[in-house]
Structure 1
Amino acid sequence: MAKKYNTIDLFCGCGGLLDGFMQEGSYNTLACVEWEKYPSETLTNRLATKWKHKNAQKEVIRFDIQRTEELINGFKDKEYGESVGLEKLVNGKKVDVVIGGPPCQAYSLAGRIRDEHGMRNDYRNYLFESYIKILSHFKPDFFVFENVIGMLSAAPDGTPIVDKIRKAFNEAGYAVIEDFKDALYDVADFGVPQHRRRVIILGVRMDAFPVKEEAKHTYKSIIKSFYEKIMPSMKCEQKTVRDTIADLPKIYPSKVIIRNGGRKYSHTPISCDDVITNHSPRFHSERDQGVFKLLGEDIQSGRNQYVTIDALKELYTKVTGKKSNIHKYYVLRWDEPSNTIPAHLYKDGMRHIHPDPEQARSITVREAARLQTFADDFVFLGPTMAQYKMIGNAVPSLFAKKIALALDKILNNISDNG
């Protein structure tokens, strides 16, 4: 039996990165840390039902990672409950890899635009310090650190955050790529039906590998191989929106508002939870349905009257009487990858309009999940808006699987050659 590599997953959300590692088959999670309720419940359910972890309730720790000592040694808390802590969950096993990335809102370009202070005062700018404390305690040979492109330009206190992160990793004993810009990827190039640019930092513990030039493995050669050979070999043909969601049941506008269980529907609900879960759209007013239909028909007919930013801004002002610095509407194109699926999707779906004008709606949770390459058996728990948010925050599971495969090639090569 092939060796399983033990992981700890930090800032795991609902588990997109973890699920990709588990799908690859060479990894076993010992513990996952997430502080939000519904992503934690979703991940616990996934570990128990899909990956058959009998101890999933304990392995998923809902807690504030900034309270690192308690996280490691155990805690009892009014809000988060209690846990024996990471140390006892690991139970003396070697932690081979730590995976995860701090919440990206403080680094995201969109977040900095929306915040009047440019997110300079956001505590999430420095959550990487908690990540490093976990590294320093368990000393894995490798880590995988994921974040948004905005990290490359963020400088909350005037010093580039990438310089702080690189220095902190080095001081903790880990080598990383010299220029983080060389670690930037568009997941669409890896078969994910969505344009989404992310920074993937592979960290290698320097004292785990000799630095002699004649040595078979050095941390420098491992990092070089990962970025210059292995990750490029994982690229494949881009997938489209049509490839991904065209086969899902169609959901058309209802002639009357439907009320059911305290919720109102603008579109006729479909009874398909036994076949496909989380496939129900949010409520849309008649006005918005009209806009969605207009924009979808504009593209479908080839008129393309509303495809420029200026035209979409003008339409928004005409429809709402308001002005916006960014265009509020975007229709997914059938024969292209989707635009980025963001956490902001929980607030509205105006920039993720279904390409079929007859359906006149934004995408459902299941459609968003498919565009993030979550399997249809991945069930999202909690209110609908929480589901959209956790999906938008996640790493696409197919991209995560390819990162896991790339790392596995390194691990196998080291194991085979000593």
Structure 2
Amino acid sequence: MSLTIRRAKLERLRLGNAPRVLELCSGCGGMSLGLHAAGFELVGHVENDPVAAESYALNFSSPEGVDRERWALPRDMVECSAADLAADLDLAEASGAFDVLAAGLPCQAFARIGRSKLRSVTGDDDAFRNDPRAKLYRRFLEYVEAVQPIAMIIENVPDILNFGGHNIPEEICETLDALGYETSYTLLNAAFYGVPQMRERLFLIAYDRSLGLRPTFPDPTHAAELPSGYEGARTVALKYIPSEGSHFHPIPAPGTDLPGAVAVRAALSDLPFISEHFRDPRTMRRRKLTEQLPYRTNNDLSAYARRMREWEGFATRRSTDGHLVRLTPRDFAIFRRMRVGADYPRALQIAEEIFSERLAEHHPRPRKGSRAWEEIRKSCVPPYDPGKFPNKWWKLEPTSPSRTLTAHLGKDSYSHIHWDSRQQRMISVREAARLQSFPDGFRFAGAMNAGFRQIGNAVPPLLALAIGRHLRGELGQALMRDRRDNREQNEAA
């Protein structure tokens, strides 16, 4: 029965129809945006965060016959089955409705930073093992059996390769082998694919075995020198790759003749100059995420900035939205004095210098430990331990790609301080979106922190576009070869 279902889908693609995608844990739609730009049809999505689901509906039209309200509904992939979703979207049946199944499964239980947070909240060293999100890949496999896709894409953090000593992608591949698929997984860094961010992620691709394909991955389009920390993280993540019979595909390496990675300055320089947070904080407090501000310049745009402005279906002309930043007056002077590339230990040194200067302004000088002394110190010096939070603050280097954006960006956005000291601030929501390769016309529902969270959780659209184009290319070649073989067999008969 499953072979009959998949053959019908392959025949549909042979006739030139676009592959139909169902994305699980879609978030606001970073992967969907890239796949759509690569020629895929977005037929269904499942996302349990109401704000992210609303963003998805804001940016992607609902299928014919499905009203926007149903399209924007948050759905939990555990509670909502493939059959439930198909019925809700007026599709005949789940098994015939979708050709491609994609998922950016939640990474909190797998990522080391997420494991640390779970440990601190629960006091349990093994809390990550018991987190329900760590088992969602099994629910994904249930969707596979219900949907019978001809291709699949899974994205997650590299640490999913070493989940307490267990290689989960290898387990997924072994299960998919038994279901009639050919599978591969590898690590891809977004900076190698035109994204101005050094973001390392695991990707798994699977194809129906009848296609005769072993999945491969797109070649890099840009070259970048990754910091040593990334190589160390790779080594840890790859520790549990089986020595024999592995489904791991060698990590694609950039060639020597490729253009350099897109740098932060090229990505952000045309966006508005923001100073309201220290000049007129009331204006910043009143500003909405949807409020439009004019571009800083329309001349001498980088190729990347032009691409973010002109993305088909999301093009902008004179202005864009998302120009919100956090209001923390204590830290503006520290931002101004930090050099590019400086981190929290240096920021703390600067704060101590500012504190000493403020004390010297008072006559008589407050006694150490007095209430006045404590109040002045609190207004100047952040309370974080530099031993525990060495990377909590970081000032962007304009000539390099950014560090990884995280889902905690709304709370820990000092990890991305704007390099322009005159602006003395962290990045805005729109600047975070640019670093994640969301086009300027892409809209985010909710307030500032929700916008940051959606962006940090997303798959970079440009990376998803590279994967989508590669997947379509491999499918197209296999279908063409199959047509040719069938024609030759008919002629021989």
Q: TM-score range by the shorter chain?
A: 0.7 to 0.9
Corresponding residue number in structure 2 for 1:72: 83
Q: Is it true that 1:356 corresponds to 2:420 in the alignment?
A: yes
Query: Aligned with 1:30: secondary structure?
Result: strand
SS in 2 for 1:99: strand
The 10-residue stretch of structure 1 (280-289 or 197-206) with the greater mean CA deviation from structure 2: 280-289
In the TM superposition, what is the alpha-carbon distance from 1:72 to its structure 2 partner? 1.9
2:201 is paired with a residue of what secondary structure? strand
Whole-Å separation in 1 of the counterparts to 2:132 and 2:352: 35
Look up the equivalent residue of 2:282 and give its one-letter code.
Answer: R
* 8 A Cα contact 2:276 2:283, kept in partner: no
How far the C-alpha of 1:252 sits from its partner, in A, is 1.5
TM-superposed deviation, 1:281:
2.7
In structure 2, what is the Cα distance between the partners aligned to 1:241 and 1:204?
36
Distance in 2 (alpha carbons) for counterparts of 1:348 and 1:335: 23
Matched, 1:168 2:203: no
Aligned amino acid, residue 188 of structure 1: A
Alignment of 1:148-167 (within 5 A): 148-155=157-164, 159-167=166-174
Question: In the alignment, residue 16 of structure 1 is paired with which amino acid?
Answer: G
* Aligned with 2:382 (options 297, 320, 329): 320
In structure 1, give the amino acid aligned to 2:331.
D
Higher fraction of helix: 2
Report the Cα distance in structure 2 between the residues aligned to 1:225 and 1:312, rounded to whole angstroms.
40
Determine the structure 2 residue equivalent to 1:134: 143
Work out which of the residue numbers 194, 200, 217 in structure 2 matches 1:191.
194
Distance 1:102 1:91, change over 3 A: closer
Residue 52 of structure 1: how far off its partner (Å): 8.5
What residue number does 2:263 align with? 240
- Give the CA deviation at 1:280: 2.1
Cα shift at 1:398: 0.6
Given the superposition, is the C-alpha separation of residues 399 and 47 from structure 1 closer, same or farther in structure 2, using an over 3 Å criterion? same
The answer to whether the 8 A contact 1:31-1:61 is kept is no
How far 1:94 sits from its partner (Å)? 5.0
Q: Which of 315, 323, 326 is matched with 1:283 structurally? A: 326
Q: Shift of residue 85 of structure 1? A: 3.5
Partner residue of 2:305?
Answer: none
Which runs of structure 2 are paired with 1:77-96 in the superposition (5 Å)? 84-85=87-88, 88=91, 93=96, 95-96=98-99
Deviation by residue 1:373-403 (Cα, 9 ceiling, x = unmatched): 1111101111111111001100010110000
Question: Please, which runs of 5 or more residues in structure 1 have no aligned partner?
Answer: 75-82, 210-217, 300-305
Cα distance change of structure 1 residues 330 and 123 upon mapping to structure 2, 3 Å threshold: same
Contact 1:251 1:270 in 2 (8 A): no
Amino acid at match of 1:168: T
Instruction: For residue 405 of structure 1, report the CA deviation from its aligned partner.
Output: 0.3
| Correspondences of 1:16-27 after superposition (within 5 Å) | 16-25=30-39, 27=40
The percentage of counterpart residues that share the same residue type is 27
Counterpart of 2:42 in structure 1 is 29
CA drift at 1:256: 5.3
* 2:104 corresponds to 1:101: yes
> For the residues of structure 2 that align with 1:292 and 1:225, how far apart are their CA atoms?
39
Who wins on radius of gyration, i.e. which is larger? 2
Q: Cα offset for 1:416?
A: 1.4
Note the C-alpha offset of 1:73.
2.7
Pick one of 406, 420, 425 that aligns with 1:342. Answer: 406
Q: What per-residue deviation string (whole Å, max 9, x for no partner) do you get for residues 308-349 of structure 1?
A: 675456557882244141222101111100111111101132
Shift of 1:276: 3.3
| CA–CA separation in structure 2 for the residues paired with 1:111 and 1:336 | 26
Name the residue aligned to 1:44: 57
Q: What is the Cα deviation at residue 253 of structure 1?
A: 4.5
Q: Is the 8 A contact 2:22 2:101 kept in 1?
A: yes
- What's the offset of the Cα at 1:20? 0.4
Residue 383 (structure 1) aligns with: 447
Q: Which amino acid counterpart does residue 195 of structure 1 have in structure 2?
A: M
2:188 aligned partner, one-letter code: Y
Deviation at 1:161, TM superposition (A): 2.9
Give the direction of change, closer, same or farther, for the CA distance of 1:188–1:106 in structure 2 (3 Å limit): same
How far, CA to CA, are the matches of 2:193 and 2:278 in structure 1? Answer: 41
**Does 1:143 pair with 2:166?**
no
RMSD: 3.2
Structure 2 vs 1, CA of residues 411 and 159 (structure 1 numbering), >3 Å: closer, same or farther? closer
Query: Offset of 1:176 from its aligned partner?
Result: 1.9
Matches within 5 A, 1:360-375: 360-375=424-439
Q: d(CA) in 2 for partners of 1:308 and 1:361?
A: 14
Q: Which amino acid letter does the alignment assign opposite residue 152 of structure 1?
A: L
Shift of 1:109: 1.5
Q: How many positions carry a matched residue from both structures?
A: 377
Match of 1:7 in 2: 21
Give the partner amino acid of 1:286.
P
For 2:166 and 2:140, the matched residues in 1 are separated by 20
CA deviations on 1:203-232 (whole Å, 9 max, x unpaired) are 1233x34xxxxxxxx243x44899679997
SS of equivalent residue, structure 2 residue 152: strand
Aligned to 1:201: 204
* Counterpart AA for 1:175: E
Return the alpha-carbon distance in structure 1 between the equivalents of residues 468 and 176 of structure 2: 21
When residues 388 and 396 of structure 1 are mapped into structure 2, their CA distance, relative to the original with a 3 A threshold, is same
Distance 1:84 1:231, change over 3 A: farther
Q: Which runs of 5+ in 2 are unaligned?
A: 1-14, 120-124, 220-248, 296-316, 354-380, 483-493
TM-score where L is the length of structure 2: 0.69
Residue 160 of structure 1 and its aligned partner are, at CA, apart by 3.7
Distance 1:163 1:413, change over 3 A: closer
Residue 403 in structure 1 maps to residue 467 in structure 2: yes
**In structure 1, distance between residues paired with 2:102 and 2:192:** 22
Q: 1:363 to 1:64 in 2, by over 3 A?
A: same
Question: In structure 2, what residue type is equivalent to 1:323?
Answer: D
